[in-house]
A and B are shown apart, each in its own frame.
Chain A
Protein backbone atom coordinates (compact mmCIF):
# COMPACT_ATOMS: atom_id res chain seq x y z
CA UNK A 1 0.00 0.00 0.00
CA UNK A 2 1.23 3.51 -0.71
CA UNK A 3 0.95 5.55 2.43
CA UNK A 4 3.20 8.20 1.10
CA UNK A 5 2.88 9.71 -2.30
CA UNK A 6 6.12 10.96 -3.63
CA UNK A 7 6.31 14.16 -5.57
CA UNK A 8 9.43 15.18 -7.31
CA UNK A 9 9.82 18.69 -8.54
CA UNK A 10 10.97 17.91 -12.05
CA UNK A 11 13.08 21.01 -12.64
CA UNK A 12 15.13 20.73 -9.48
CA UNK A 13 15.39 17.01 -9.90
CA UNK A 14 16.95 17.44 -13.28
CA UNK A 15 19.53 19.82 -11.89
CA UNK A 16 20.73 17.71 -8.98
CA UNK A 17 21.22 14.04 -8.50
CA UNK A 18 18.77 12.48 -6.10
CA UNK A 19 21.29 11.20 -3.64
CA UNK A 20 22.97 14.54 -3.09
CA UNK A 21 19.81 16.45 -2.44
CA UNK A 22 17.26 14.25 -0.72
CA UNK A 23 15.40 17.38 0.42
CA UNK A 24 14.25 18.18 -3.07
CA UNK A 25 11.71 15.41 -2.54
CA UNK A 26 8.31 16.33 -1.31
CA UNK A 27 5.63 14.28 0.28
CA UNK A 28 2.03 15.29 0.25
CA UNK A 29 0.26 14.66 3.54
CA UNK A 30 -2.57 12.26 2.69
CA UNK A 31 -4.68 13.80 5.44
CA UNK A 32 -4.43 17.58 4.90
CA UNK A 33 -2.70 17.78 1.52
CA UNK A 34 0.17 19.95 2.74
CA UNK A 35 3.38 19.50 0.78
CA UNK A 36 6.17 18.57 3.14
CA UNK A 37 9.90 18.44 2.59
CA UNK A 38 11.27 14.97 3.19
CA UNK A 39 13.92 16.34 5.50
CA UNK A 40 11.35 18.30 7.48
CA UNK A 41 9.17 15.21 7.70
CA UNK A 42 12.05 13.01 8.78
CA UNK A 43 13.01 15.50 11.49
CA UNK A 44 9.43 15.26 12.74
CA UNK A 45 9.45 11.42 12.77
CA UNK A 46 7.13 11.31 9.75
CA UNK A 47 4.38 13.24 11.48
CA UNK A 48 2.78 15.99 9.38
CA UNK A 49 3.95 19.34 10.71
CA UNK A 50 0.69 20.88 9.65
CA UNK A 51 -2.02 18.46 10.89
CA UNK A 52 -0.17 15.94 13.09
CA UNK A 53 -1.12 13.04 10.84
CA UNK A 54 1.11 10.08 11.75
CA UNK A 55 2.59 8.53 8.63
CA UNK A 56 4.39 5.20 8.49
CA UNK A 57 7.90 5.14 9.91
CA UNK A 58 10.41 2.40 9.28
CA UNK A 59 11.70 0.40 12.28
CA UNK A 60 15.19 1.79 11.72
CA UNK A 61 14.01 5.40 11.64
CA UNK A 62 11.90 4.78 14.71
CA UNK A 63 14.81 3.31 16.64
CA UNK A 64 17.05 6.17 15.60
CA UNK A 65 14.55 8.62 17.04
CA UNK A 66 13.86 6.48 20.11
CA UNK A 67 17.25 5.46 21.45
CA UNK A 68 19.63 7.91 23.10
CA UNK A 69 21.82 9.45 20.46
CA UNK A 70 20.19 7.22 17.89
CA UNK A 71 22.45 4.37 19.01
CA UNK A 72 21.15 0.82 19.23
CA UNK A 73 22.40 -2.71 18.75
CA UNK A 74 20.43 -5.07 16.59
CA UNK A 75 19.47 -8.36 18.17
CA UNK A 76 20.09 -11.21 15.79
CA UNK A 77 16.95 -13.08 14.77
CA UNK A 78 17.40 -16.76 13.86
CA UNK A 79 16.61 -17.45 10.22
CA UNK A 80 13.45 -19.47 9.66
CA UNK A 81 12.94 -21.92 6.83
CA UNK A 82 12.19 -19.93 3.70
CA UNK A 83 8.87 -20.81 2.07
CA UNK A 84 7.94 -23.82 4.23
CA UNK A 85 4.81 -24.61 2.19
CA UNK A 86 6.23 -23.98 -1.30
CA UNK A 87 3.48 -21.42 -1.60
CA UNK A 88 2.54 -19.98 -4.89
CA UNK A 89 -0.33 -17.65 -5.78
CA UNK A 90 0.03 -15.43 -8.82
CA UNK A 91 3.65 -15.08 -7.78
CA UNK A 92 5.97 -17.41 -5.92
CA UNK A 93 6.32 -16.54 -2.26
CA UNK A 94 10.16 -16.36 -2.42
CA UNK A 95 9.80 -13.83 -5.25
CA UNK A 96 7.44 -11.70 -3.18
CA UNK A 97 9.91 -11.89 -0.29
CA UNK A 98 12.82 -10.87 -2.48
CA UNK A 99 10.89 -7.94 -3.87
CA UNK A 100 10.03 -6.76 -0.34
CA UNK A 101 13.65 -7.15 0.73
CA UNK A 102 14.86 -5.15 -2.22
CA UNK A 103 12.34 -2.37 -1.67
CA UNK A 104 12.99 -2.04 2.06
CA UNK A 105 16.61 -3.05 2.35
CA UNK A 106 15.56 -5.14 5.32
CA UNK A 107 15.59 -8.89 5.84
CA UNK A 108 12.02 -9.11 7.07
CA UNK A 109 9.05 -7.33 8.63
CA UNK A 110 10.47 -6.99 12.13
CA UNK A 111 13.54 -5.43 13.68
CA UNK A 112 14.79 -6.15 17.21
CA UNK A 113 17.18 -3.86 19.03
CA UNK A 114 18.76 -3.24 22.41
CA UNK A 115 19.68 0.18 23.65
CA UNK A 116 18.91 2.90 26.14
CA UNK A 117 16.13 5.43 26.26
CA UNK A 118 16.96 8.26 28.68
CA UNK A 119 19.58 5.91 30.07
CA UNK A 120 16.96 3.24 30.64
CA UNK A 121 18.05 -0.03 29.05
CA UNK A 122 15.33 -1.72 27.02
CA UNK A 123 14.79 -4.25 24.28
CA UNK A 124 12.60 -2.87 21.50
CA UNK A 125 10.82 -4.51 18.60
CA UNK A 126 9.34 -2.68 15.63
CA UNK A 127 7.22 -4.08 12.87
CA UNK A 128 7.47 -2.78 9.33
CA UNK A 129 4.14 -2.40 7.54
CA UNK A 130 5.85 -1.63 4.26
CA UNK A 131 7.34 -5.14 4.27
CA UNK A 132 4.56 -7.44 3.02
CA UNK A 133 2.06 -5.54 5.18
CA UNK A 134 4.15 -6.30 8.26
CA UNK A 135 2.64 -9.74 8.25
CA UNK A 136 3.44 -12.25 10.97
CA UNK A 137 5.14 -15.35 9.73
CA UNK A 138 7.84 -17.49 11.23
CA UNK A 139 10.40 -14.69 11.08
CA UNK A 140 8.20 -12.42 13.17
CA UNK A 141 7.69 -15.32 15.57
CA UNK A 142 11.44 -15.86 15.76
CA UNK A 143 11.94 -12.12 16.30
CA UNK A 144 9.49 -11.99 19.18
CA UNK A 145 11.09 -15.03 20.82
CA UNK A 146 14.59 -13.59 20.32
CA UNK A 147 13.46 -10.25 21.77
CA UNK A 148 11.90 -11.95 24.79
CA UNK A 149 15.04 -14.00 25.39
CA UNK A 150 17.22 -10.89 25.15
CA UNK A 151 14.93 -9.04 27.56
CA UNK A 152 15.00 -11.89 30.07
CA UNK A 153 18.74 -12.45 29.73
CA UNK A 154 19.63 -8.80 30.36
CA UNK A 155 16.66 -8.08 32.67
CA UNK A 156 15.32 -5.33 30.43
CA UNK A 157 11.74 -4.29 29.72
CA UNK A 158 10.38 -5.20 26.30
CA UNK A 159 8.68 -2.56 24.16
CA UNK A 160 6.94 -3.64 20.97
CA UNK A 161 5.77 -1.28 18.22
CA UNK A 162 3.21 -3.23 16.21
CA UNK A 163 2.06 -2.69 12.62
CA UNK A 164 0.60 -5.49 10.59
CA UNK A 165 -2.10 -6.50 8.19
CA UNK A 166 -2.28 -9.81 10.07
CA UNK A 167 -0.74 -13.22 9.50
CA UNK A 168 1.54 -14.10 6.57
CA UNK A 169 -0.89 -16.11 4.44
CA UNK A 170 1.95 -17.59 2.41
CA UNK A 171 3.08 -19.49 5.48
CA UNK A 172 -0.39 -20.92 6.02
CA UNK A 173 -1.01 -22.71 9.30
CA UNK A 174 2.56 -22.00 10.42
CA UNK A 175 1.81 -18.28 10.44
CA UNK A 176 -1.32 -18.95 12.50
CA UNK A 177 0.79 -20.92 14.98
CA UNK A 178 2.82 -17.78 15.61
CA UNK A 179 -0.12 -16.51 17.66
CA UNK A 180 0.43 -19.00 20.50
CA UNK A 181 4.18 -18.92 19.85
CA UNK A 182 4.51 -15.15 20.34
CA UNK A 183 2.22 -15.49 23.36
CA UNK A 184 4.78 -17.84 24.91
CA UNK A 185 7.39 -15.14 24.25
CA UNK A 186 5.28 -12.57 26.14
CA UNK A 187 4.88 -15.02 29.01
CA UNK A 188 8.65 -15.45 29.27
CA UNK A 189 9.01 -11.69 29.80
CA UNK A 190 6.12 -11.55 32.22
CA UNK A 191 7.41 -14.44 34.32
CA UNK A 192 10.79 -12.76 34.60
CA UNK A 193 8.95 -9.87 36.28
CA UNK A 194 9.79 -7.50 33.45
CA UNK A 195 7.44 -4.93 31.95
CA UNK A 196 5.99 -5.67 28.53
CA UNK A 197 4.63 -2.55 26.84
CA UNK A 198 2.98 -2.47 23.44
CA UNK A 199 2.65 0.56 21.21
CA UNK A 200 0.07 -0.10 18.51
CA UNK A 201 0.69 1.85 15.32
CA UNK A 202 -1.26 2.19 12.10
CA UNK A 203 -2.49 -0.35 11.18
CA UNK A 204 -2.48 -3.26 13.64
CA UNK A 205 -4.94 -5.95 12.63
CA UNK A 206 -5.80 -9.64 12.60
CA UNK A 207 -3.71 -12.27 14.32
CA UNK A 208 -1.16 -9.72 15.51
CA UNK A 209 -3.80 -7.76 17.41
CA UNK A 210 -5.20 -11.06 18.69
CA UNK A 211 -1.86 -12.11 20.17
CA UNK A 212 1.13 -10.09 21.39
CA UNK A 213 -0.35 -6.64 20.62
CA UNK A 214 -3.17 -7.05 23.13
CA UNK A 215 -1.16 -8.71 25.91
CA UNK A 216 0.75 -5.67 27.15
CA UNK A 217 1.05 -4.73 30.80
CA UNK A 218 0.45 -1.34 29.31
CA UNK A 219 -1.01 -0.75 25.86
CA UNK A 220 -0.47 2.50 24.04
CA UNK A 221 -1.29 3.59 20.52
CA UNK A 222 -0.42 6.36 18.12
CA UNK A 223 -3.21 8.78 17.22
CA UNK A 224 -5.77 7.61 14.68
CA UNK A 225 -4.12 4.19 14.25
CA UNK A 226 -6.48 1.53 12.92
CA UNK A 227 -6.52 -1.29 15.47
CA UNK A 228 -8.80 -4.28 15.00
CA UNK A 229 -9.23 -7.99 14.67
CA UNK A 230 -11.52 -8.03 11.63
CA UNK A 231 -10.96 -5.16 9.22
CA UNK A 232 -13.67 -2.56 8.57
CA UNK A 233 -14.36 -3.86 5.05
CA UNK A 234 -14.98 -7.40 6.26
CA UNK A 235 -17.33 -6.11 8.95
CA UNK A 236 -19.25 -3.90 6.53
CA UNK A 237 -19.71 -6.87 4.22
CA UNK A 238 -20.89 -9.03 7.11
CA UNK A 239 -23.32 -6.66 8.82
CA UNK A 240 -24.25 -4.77 5.64
CA UNK A 241 -24.14 -1.35 7.19
CA UNK A 242 -21.77 1.58 7.19
CA UNK A 243 -19.49 1.82 10.20
CA UNK A 244 -19.38 5.03 12.21
CA UNK A 245 -16.62 7.59 11.77
CA UNK A 246 -13.53 6.73 13.75
CA UNK A 247 -14.58 3.10 14.28
CA UNK A 248 -11.61 0.91 15.29
CA UNK A 249 -9.32 3.91 15.52
CA UNK A 250 -7.00 4.36 18.51
CA UNK A 251 -9.21 6.96 20.20
CA UNK A 252 -12.24 4.69 19.77
CA UNK A 253 -10.40 1.80 21.40
CA UNK A 254 -9.30 4.09 24.21
CA UNK A 255 -12.96 5.02 24.79
CA UNK A 256 -13.90 1.34 24.80
CA UNK A 257 -11.32 0.39 27.39
CA UNK A 258 -8.92 -1.47 25.12
CA UNK A 259 -5.95 0.88 25.50
CA UNK A 260 -4.25 2.76 28.33
CA UNK A 261 -3.13 5.76 26.31
CA UNK A 262 -3.13 7.33 22.89
CA UNK A 263 0.13 9.21 22.56
CA UNK A 264 1.66 11.47 19.92
CA UNK A 265 4.79 9.98 18.39
CA UNK A 266 6.86 12.88 19.69
CA UNK A 267 5.75 12.21 23.27
CA UNK A 268 6.18 8.45 23.11
CA UNK A 269 9.78 8.28 24.25
CA UNK A 270 9.19 10.42 27.35
CA UNK A 271 6.10 8.47 28.32
CA UNK A 272 7.81 5.12 27.84
CA UNK A 273 10.73 6.29 29.97
CA UNK A 274 8.44 7.52 32.74
CA UNK A 275 6.38 4.34 32.78
CA UNK A 276 9.25 1.89 32.49
CA UNK A 277 11.33 3.56 35.19
CA UNK A 278 8.42 3.42 37.62
CA UNK A 279 7.71 -0.21 36.80
CA UNK A 280 11.34 -1.17 37.30
CA UNK A 281 11.95 0.74 40.50
CA UNK A 282 14.29 3.35 39.05
CA UNK A 283 14.41 7.06 39.96
CA UNK A 284 12.93 9.64 37.56
CA UNK A 285 14.91 10.16 34.40
CA UNK A 286 16.71 13.29 33.37
CA UNK A 287 14.43 14.69 30.69
CA UNK A 288 15.51 16.11 27.41
CA UNK A 289 17.73 15.11 24.52
CA UNK A 290 20.45 12.76 25.59
CA UNK A 291 23.50 11.85 23.67
CA UNK A 292 24.60 8.31 23.09
CA UNK A 293 25.55 6.42 26.22
CA UNK A 294 29.22 6.50 27.05
CA UNK A 295 30.99 3.41 25.80
CA UNK A 296 32.04 1.04 28.52
Chain B
Protein backbone atom coordinates (compact mmCIF):
# COMPACT_ATOMS: atom_id res chain seq x y z
CA UNK B 1 0.00 0.00 0.00
CA UNK B 2 1.25 3.44 -0.91
CA UNK B 3 0.27 5.84 1.85
CA UNK B 4 -0.54 9.49 1.32
CA UNK B 5 0.98 12.23 3.44
CA UNK B 6 -2.14 12.57 5.62
CA UNK B 7 -2.32 8.80 6.08
CA UNK B 8 1.03 8.59 7.91
CA UNK B 9 -0.41 7.81 11.35
CA UNK B 10 -2.41 5.05 9.73
CA UNK B 11 0.70 3.71 8.02
CA UNK B 12 2.39 3.43 11.42
CA UNK B 13 -0.41 1.39 12.96
CA UNK B 14 -0.82 -0.88 9.98
CA UNK B 15 2.93 -1.29 9.88
CA UNK B 16 3.01 -2.31 13.52
CA UNK B 17 0.26 -4.89 13.02
CA UNK B 18 2.15 -6.29 10.07
CA UNK B 19 5.37 -6.50 12.12
CA UNK B 20 3.58 -8.37 14.87
CA UNK B 21 2.21 -10.91 12.44
CA UNK B 22 5.62 -11.39 10.87
CA UNK B 23 7.08 -11.95 14.31
CA UNK B 24 4.42 -14.54 15.09
CA UNK B 25 5.12 -16.34 11.85
CA UNK B 26 8.80 -16.60 12.82
CA UNK B 27 8.03 -17.70 16.41
CA UNK B 28 4.89 -19.88 16.35
CA UNK B 29 4.89 -20.01 20.14
CA UNK B 30 4.17 -16.30 20.39
CA UNK B 31 0.53 -15.32 20.67
CA UNK B 32 0.06 -11.87 19.14
CA UNK B 33 -3.28 -12.40 17.41
CA UNK B 34 -5.19 -10.35 19.93
CA UNK B 35 -2.78 -7.48 19.89
CA UNK B 36 -2.66 -7.44 16.09
CA UNK B 37 -6.43 -7.47 15.90
CA UNK B 38 -6.55 -4.55 18.29
CA UNK B 39 -4.26 -2.61 15.99
CA UNK B 40 -6.41 -3.55 12.99
CA UNK B 41 -9.48 -2.18 14.71
CA UNK B 42 -7.63 0.98 15.60
CA UNK B 43 -6.49 1.34 12.01
CA UNK B 44 -9.99 0.90 10.69
CA UNK B 45 -11.40 3.52 13.03
CA UNK B 46 -8.64 5.87 11.99
CA UNK B 47 -9.30 5.21 8.30
CA UNK B 48 -12.99 5.95 8.82
CA UNK B 49 -12.17 9.16 10.64
CA UNK B 50 -9.67 10.26 8.03
CA UNK B 51 -11.99 9.63 5.09
CA UNK B 52 -15.15 10.87 6.78
CA UNK B 53 -14.23 14.46 6.16
CA UNK B 54 -11.41 14.77 3.66
CA UNK B 55 -10.54 18.37 3.00
CA UNK B 56 -10.20 19.50 -0.63
CA UNK B 57 -6.42 19.24 -0.72
CA UNK B 58 -6.57 15.71 0.72
CA UNK B 59 -9.11 14.87 -1.96
CA UNK B 60 -6.66 16.11 -4.59
CA UNK B 61 -4.10 13.68 -3.23
CA UNK B 62 -6.57 10.79 -3.20
CA UNK B 63 -7.75 11.67 -6.71
CA UNK B 64 -4.13 11.47 -7.91
CA UNK B 65 -3.28 8.32 -5.92
CA UNK B 66 -1.15 6.03 -8.06
CA UNK B 67 -3.02 2.91 -6.95
CA UNK B 68 -6.44 4.17 -8.00
CA UNK B 69 -7.96 2.27 -10.90
CA UNK B 70 -7.18 4.08 -14.14
CA UNK B 71 -9.01 4.26 -17.45
CA UNK B 72 -7.56 0.96 -18.69
CA UNK B 73 -8.68 -0.84 -15.52
CA UNK B 74 -12.26 0.33 -15.98
CA UNK B 75 -12.27 -0.65 -19.63
CA UNK B 76 -10.94 -4.10 -18.80
CA UNK B 77 -13.27 -4.52 -15.85
CA UNK B 78 -16.52 -3.23 -17.32
CA UNK B 79 -16.40 -3.73 -21.06
CA UNK B 80 -16.11 -6.80 -23.27
CA UNK B 81 -14.67 -7.18 -26.75
CA UNK B 82 -12.71 -3.95 -26.29
CA UNK B 83 -11.07 -3.19 -29.61
CA UNK B 84 -8.64 -0.30 -29.27
CA UNK B 85 -8.60 2.06 -32.25
CA UNK B 86 -5.61 4.23 -32.94
CA UNK B 87 -4.51 7.40 -34.59
CA UNK B 88 -5.76 10.79 -35.68
CA UNK B 89 -5.14 10.02 -39.40
CA UNK B 90 -3.02 13.09 -39.52
CA UNK B 91 0.09 12.92 -37.39
CA UNK B 92 0.30 10.24 -34.71
CA UNK B 93 -1.41 8.00 -32.21
CA UNK B 94 -1.48 9.64 -28.80
CA UNK B 95 -1.21 7.03 -26.05
CA UNK B 96 -2.43 9.49 -23.41
CA UNK B 97 -5.94 8.95 -24.74
CA UNK B 98 -7.07 5.39 -25.29
CA UNK B 99 -10.32 4.45 -26.91
CA UNK B 100 -12.14 2.13 -29.20
CA UNK B 101 -15.15 -0.05 -29.75
CA UNK B 102 -16.41 -2.21 -26.92
CA UNK B 103 -19.52 -3.75 -25.48
CA UNK B 104 -21.11 -2.60 -22.27
CA UNK B 105 -23.69 -5.15 -21.06
CA UNK B 106 -23.56 -6.49 -24.63
CA UNK B 107 -24.46 -3.10 -26.09
CA UNK B 108 -21.87 -1.82 -28.57
CA UNK B 109 -20.43 1.55 -27.52
CA UNK B 110 -17.43 3.77 -28.12
CA UNK B 111 -15.37 4.12 -24.96
CA UNK B 112 -12.42 6.46 -24.45
CA UNK B 113 -10.47 8.22 -21.76
CA UNK B 114 -7.13 9.52 -20.57
CA UNK B 115 -4.83 6.80 -19.25
CA UNK B 116 -2.09 7.81 -16.81
CA UNK B 117 -0.12 4.57 -16.65
CA UNK B 118 0.74 2.57 -13.53
CA UNK B 119 4.56 2.36 -13.46
CA UNK B 120 7.46 4.40 -14.78
CA UNK B 121 7.45 2.75 -18.16
CA UNK B 122 3.71 3.02 -18.80
CA UNK B 123 3.54 6.51 -17.30
CA UNK B 124 6.09 7.74 -19.78
CA UNK B 125 4.37 5.86 -22.59
CA UNK B 126 1.06 7.48 -21.61
CA UNK B 127 2.67 10.87 -20.96
CA UNK B 128 1.06 10.82 -17.48
CA UNK B 129 -2.36 11.11 -19.07
CA UNK B 130 -1.56 14.48 -20.65
CA UNK B 131 -2.82 14.42 -24.21
CA UNK B 132 -1.44 16.22 -27.22
CA UNK B 133 -3.58 17.52 -30.10
CA UNK B 134 -3.43 14.08 -31.74
CA UNK B 135 -5.22 12.61 -28.73
CA UNK B 136 -8.10 15.04 -28.99
CA UNK B 137 -8.25 14.56 -32.75
CA UNK B 138 -8.41 10.81 -32.27
CA UNK B 139 -11.26 11.40 -29.80
CA UNK B 140 -13.04 13.53 -32.41
CA UNK B 141 -12.65 10.76 -34.97
CA UNK B 142 -14.08 8.17 -32.58
CA UNK B 143 -16.97 10.46 -31.68
CA UNK B 144 -17.80 10.94 -35.36
CA UNK B 145 -17.79 7.20 -35.86
CA UNK B 146 -20.02 6.68 -32.84
CA UNK B 147 -22.46 9.23 -34.23
CA UNK B 148 -22.52 7.65 -37.68
CA UNK B 149 -23.22 4.17 -36.35
CA UNK B 150 -25.50 5.30 -33.51
CA UNK B 151 -23.30 4.07 -30.68
CA UNK B 152 -23.35 5.73 -27.25
CA UNK B 153 -20.11 7.38 -26.16
CA UNK B 154 -18.68 6.68 -22.72
CA UNK B 155 -15.70 8.75 -21.57
CA UNK B 156 -13.49 8.23 -18.52
CA UNK B 157 -11.80 11.43 -17.46
CA UNK B 158 -8.47 11.37 -15.65
CA UNK B 159 -5.86 13.94 -16.59
CA UNK B 160 -3.70 16.60 -14.95
CA UNK B 161 -4.44 18.63 -18.11
CA UNK B 162 -3.54 18.84 -21.77
CA UNK B 163 0.21 18.57 -22.35
CA UNK B 164 1.98 21.94 -22.28
CA UNK B 165 4.68 21.11 -24.82
CA UNK B 166 6.30 22.78 -27.79
CA UNK B 167 5.05 20.33 -30.41
CA UNK B 168 1.60 20.24 -28.85
CA UNK B 169 1.31 24.01 -29.22
CA UNK B 170 2.70 24.00 -32.76
CA UNK B 171 0.16 21.42 -33.83
CA UNK B 172 -2.73 23.36 -32.35
CA UNK B 173 -3.51 22.12 -28.85
CA UNK B 174 -6.10 24.87 -28.37
CA UNK B 175 -7.82 24.16 -31.66
CA UNK B 176 -7.91 20.42 -31.01
CA UNK B 177 -9.54 20.93 -27.61
CA UNK B 178 -12.02 23.46 -29.00
CA UNK B 179 -12.99 21.08 -31.81
CA UNK B 180 -13.38 18.11 -29.46
CA UNK B 181 -15.72 20.12 -27.24
CA UNK B 182 -17.60 21.34 -30.29
CA UNK B 183 -17.91 17.80 -31.67
CA UNK B 184 -19.17 16.49 -28.34
CA UNK B 185 -21.97 19.04 -28.50
CA UNK B 186 -23.03 17.85 -31.95
CA UNK B 187 -23.43 14.13 -31.30
CA UNK B 188 -26.87 12.62 -31.83
CA UNK B 189 -26.05 9.74 -29.50
CA UNK B 190 -25.92 9.57 -25.70
CA UNK B 191 -22.64 10.89 -24.30
CA UNK B 192 -21.81 10.09 -20.70
CA UNK B 193 -18.70 10.93 -18.72
CA UNK B 194 -17.25 9.73 -15.47
CA UNK B 195 -14.49 11.72 -13.79
CA UNK B 196 -12.53 8.87 -12.20
CA UNK B 197 -9.56 10.80 -10.82
CA UNK B 198 -8.40 14.20 -11.92
CA UNK B 199 -10.46 16.42 -14.20
CA UNK B 200 -7.74 18.85 -15.20
CA UNK B 201 -8.99 21.99 -16.95
CA UNK B 202 -9.58 22.25 -20.70
CA UNK B 203 -7.90 18.93 -21.30
CA UNK B 204 -10.70 17.32 -19.30
CA UNK B 205 -13.59 19.39 -20.69
CA UNK B 206 -12.76 18.17 -24.20
CA UNK B 207 -13.84 14.67 -23.11
CA UNK B 208 -16.50 15.69 -20.60
CA UNK B 209 -19.02 17.70 -22.59
CA UNK B 210 -21.66 15.05 -21.98
CA UNK B 211 -25.39 14.57 -21.39
CA UNK B 212 -24.66 13.03 -18.02
CA UNK B 213 -21.56 13.55 -15.90
CA UNK B 214 -20.68 11.50 -12.84
CA UNK B 215 -17.74 11.89 -10.50
CA UNK B 216 -16.17 9.45 -8.12
CA UNK B 217 -16.58 10.52 -4.50
CA UNK B 218 -12.97 11.59 -4.06
CA UNK B 219 -12.23 12.77 -7.57
CA UNK B 220 -11.66 16.41 -8.47
CA UNK B 221 -12.54 18.61 -11.45
CA UNK B 222 -11.04 22.07 -11.74
CA UNK B 223 -10.24 25.01 -13.98
CA UNK B 224 -6.63 24.96 -12.75
CA UNK B 225 -4.55 22.79 -10.44
CA UNK B 226 -4.42 24.02 -6.83
CA UNK B 227 -0.65 24.39 -7.21
CA UNK B 228 -1.04 26.52 -10.35
CA UNK B 229 -3.76 28.64 -8.77
CA UNK B 230 -1.68 29.16 -5.64
CA UNK B 231 1.33 30.32 -7.59
CA UNK B 232 -0.74 32.82 -9.59
CA UNK B 233 -3.12 34.20 -6.96
CA UNK B 234 -1.11 33.67 -3.79
CA UNK B 235 2.26 34.04 -5.55
CA UNK B 236 3.26 30.99 -3.54
CA UNK B 237 2.79 27.45 -4.84
CA UNK B 238 2.89 26.13 -1.26
CA UNK B 239 -0.55 27.66 -0.70
CA UNK B 240 -2.18 24.79 -2.60
CA UNK B 241 -4.29 23.85 0.41
CA UNK B 242 -5.90 27.27 0.44
CA UNK B 243 -6.29 27.21 -3.33
CA UNK B 244 -7.86 23.73 -3.30
CA UNK B 245 -10.33 25.02 -0.73
CA UNK B 246 -11.19 28.18 -2.66
CA UNK B 247 -11.56 26.51 -6.05
CA UNK B 248 -14.44 24.25 -4.95
CA UNK B 249 -13.11 21.36 -6.97
CA UNK B 250 -14.62 18.41 -5.09
CA UNK B 251 -17.38 16.20 -6.45
CA UNK B 252 -19.60 17.38 -3.61
CA UNK B 253 -19.21 21.06 -4.51
CA UNK B 254 -19.64 20.39 -8.22
CA UNK B 255 -22.91 18.64 -7.55
CA UNK B 256 -24.11 21.62 -5.52
CA UNK B 257 -23.15 23.91 -8.40
CA UNK B 258 -25.16 21.82 -10.83
CA UNK B 259 -22.09 20.92 -12.91
CA UNK B 260 -22.35 17.16 -12.39
CA UNK B 261 -25.30 14.83 -12.13
CA UNK B 262 -24.22 12.16 -9.70
CA UNK B 263 -21.52 11.07 -7.30
CA UNK B 264 -20.29 7.48 -7.28
CA UNK B 265 -19.43 6.33 -3.76
CA UNK B 266 -15.94 4.99 -3.12
CA UNK B 267 -15.13 2.21 -0.65
CA UNK B 268 -13.74 3.15 2.77
CA UNK B 269 -10.27 4.57 2.34
CA UNK B 270 -10.77 5.51 -1.30
CA UNK B 271 -10.77 3.73 -4.64
CA UNK B 272 -7.16 2.68 -4.14
CA UNK B 273 -8.21 0.44 -1.23
CA UNK B 274 -11.07 -1.21 -3.09
CA UNK B 275 -10.34 -1.20 -6.76
CA UNK B 276 -12.82 -3.93 -7.66
CA UNK B 277 -15.69 -2.38 -5.71
CA UNK B 278 -14.96 1.01 -7.26
CA UNK B 279 -14.93 -0.35 -10.78
CA UNK B 280 -18.23 -2.12 -10.15
CA UNK B 281 -19.79 1.03 -8.72
CA UNK B 282 -18.71 3.02 -11.78
CA UNK B 283 -20.23 0.28 -13.95
CA UNK B 284 -23.56 0.68 -12.18
CA UNK B 285 -23.45 4.44 -12.67
CA UNK B 286 -22.70 4.06 -16.38
CA UNK B 287 -25.58 1.61 -16.68
CA UNK B 288 -27.99 3.95 -14.93
CA UNK B 289 -26.95 6.97 -16.98
CA UNK B 290 -27.21 5.07 -20.27
CA UNK B 291 -30.65 3.91 -19.25
CA UNK B 292 -31.77 7.47 -18.55
CA UNK B 293 -30.87 8.42 -22.09
CA UNK B 294 -31.98 5.33 -23.94
CA UNK B 295 -34.70 5.77 -26.54
CA UNK B 296 -34.08 9.52 -26.85
CA UNK B 297 -33.98 10.87 -30.38
CA UNK B 298 -30.75 12.40 -31.74
CA UNK B 299 -32.21 15.92 -31.77
CA UNK B 300 -33.40 15.51 -28.18
CA UNK B 301 -29.96 14.37 -27.06
CA UNK B 302 -28.26 17.33 -28.74
CA UNK B 303 -30.80 19.73 -27.26
CA UNK B 304 -30.44 18.18 -23.80
CA UNK B 305 -26.66 18.55 -23.89
CA UNK B 306 -26.69 22.12 -25.16
CA UNK B 307 -29.20 23.26 -22.61
CA UNK B 308 -27.23 21.61 -19.87
CA UNK B 309 -24.17 23.69 -20.73
CA UNK B 310 -26.09 26.87 -21.53
CA UNK B 311 -27.43 26.71 -17.99
CA UNK B 312 -23.98 26.49 -16.45
CA UNK B 313 -23.23 29.66 -14.67
CA UNK B 314 -26.79 30.41 -13.72
CA UNK B 315 -26.36 28.74 -10.36
CA UNK B 316 -23.86 29.54 -7.61
CA UNK B 317 -23.33 28.25 -4.11
CA UNK B 318 -26.00 29.38 -1.66
CA UNK B 319 -24.99 32.55 0.16
Binding site for B on A (CB under 8 A): 80-81, 83-90, 137-138, 141-142, 145, 167, 169-181, 183-184, 186-187, 206-207, 209-215, 227-230, 234-235, 238-239, 241, 243, 247-248, 256-258
Contacts and interface: CB of A to CB of B under 8 A. Distances in A.
A210 B174 contact: yes
7 contacts: A81-B313, A81-B316, A169-B223, A173-B221, A176-B201, A179-B205, A258-B175
Which secondary structure characterizes the binding site on chain B? helix
Contacts of A167: 201, 223-224
A238 B165 contact: yes
Contacts of B246: 85, 87-89, 172
A275 to B, nearest CB: 20
Interface in B207-230: 209, 221-224, 229
Which interface class (under 10, 10 to 19, 20 to 34, 35 or more) fits B? 35 or more
A173 B223 contact: yes
Given A85-B316, A90-B234, A180 B164 contact: no
A238 B317 contact: no
Interface string B25-49: 0000000000000000000000000
Given A172-B247, A187-B185, A206-B202, A181 B312 contact: yes
A80 B313 contact: yes
Nearest to B133: A229
Given A179-B181, A211-B177, A229-B174, 15 more contacts: A85-B316, A89-B233, A89-B234, A171-B223, A171-B313, A172-B249, A173-B253, A174-B316, A177-B259, A178-B312, A180-B309, A181-B309, A207-B223, A247-B169, A248-B169
Chain A to chain B: the 3 pairs with minimum beta-carbon distance, closest first: A84-B316, A230-B164, A138-B313
A179 B166 contact: no
A210 B309 contact: no
A29 B163 CA distance: 35
**Counting chain A CB atoms within 10 Å of each CB, which of B163, B169, B314, B316 scores highest?**
B169
A215 B309 contact: no
B85 interface: no
B172 A258 contact: yes
A215 B317 contact: no
Interface of B: 162-166, 168-175, 177-179, 181-182, 184-186, 201-202, 205-206, 209, 221-224, 229, 232-234, 242-243, 246-249, 253-254, 257, 259, 306, 309-310, 312-317, 319
A174 B205 contact: no
A256 B254 contact: no
Contact of A177 (B306, B309, B317): B309
**Counting chain B CB atoms within 10 Å of each CB, which of A83, A141, A183, A238 scores highest?**
A183
A273 B99 CA distance: 44
B165 A235 contact: yes
B229 to A, nearest CB: 6
Contact of A173 (B229, B243, B248): B248
Contacts of B248: 85, 172-173
Contacts of A174: 257, 259, 312-313, 316
Contact of B174 (A88, A90, A228, A238): A228
Contact of B202 (A141, A179, A239, A241): A179
A178 B259 CA distance: 11
